[in-house]
Amino acid sequence: MITLPNAITLARLCAVPLAVWLILKGEFALCFWLFVAAGVSDAIDGFIAKSFGARSQLGAVLDPIADKTLLVSVYVTLGAVGRLPDWLVILVVFRDLWIVGGVLTLYVLGQMPRIDPLYVSKVNTACQIGLAAMALLDAGYGVIGAQAIGIAAVLVAGTTLASGAAYTWRWLRGGGAAT
């Protein structure tokens, strides 16, 4: 059950409290590199799982949980220390709760939800990761600037709204849900 990819994913999940602590302590540069390492580890565990036949049901569930836990935790903490706008943090977290709530509702209603991310959701995740990295990089090294972060925040807001609307539309048409 604990394969190498799953161990890497668990390590990424265990890095979440460290990321939160680093942000709260103002160690943004270190947190940026931890965030980068988490991204690299996500690529590595996926590569190993696919290339060496080490896929597992546990990994299929654990990997997106680790990814989303890190991203949401970084967003909430960056919002708490004033590095991301509160309204954006609320929007990002609400969209995730909306999707989880939709999946649970479908499950309770006896419909097995499809775990099949929409393209707009993948774009949204990429934008969210990019903004988190930009905010950490700017806070740690001062190299991005408020204007670029503001533009990225608007892009994240737009893709977050589009993603939430797309899943809602899918549910209303009788389809499943995903993260």
Helix (H, G, I), strand (E, B) or coil at 65: helix
Cα–Cα nearest to 117, from 48, 162, 176, 56: 176
Neighbours of 34 (CB within 10 A): 21
Distance CA 177, CA 170 (A): 7
Domain edges within the chain: 4-172
Please give the mean pLDDT across all residues of the chain.
93
Specify the CATH number of the domain 4-172. 1.20.120.1760
Contacts with 123 (C-beta within 8 Å, 6 or more apart), sequence order: 159, 163
Neighbours of 55 (CB within 10 A): 15
Tokens of 65: 């949980």
Segment 124-155, tens digit of pLDDT: 999 999 999 999 999 999 999 999 999 999 99
What is the pTM assigned to this prediction?
A: 0.92
Segment 80-125, tens digit of pLDDT: 999 999 999 999 999 999 998 988 888 898 887 777 789 999 999 9
Angle of helix 28-51 versus helix 57-80 axis, rounded to 10: 170
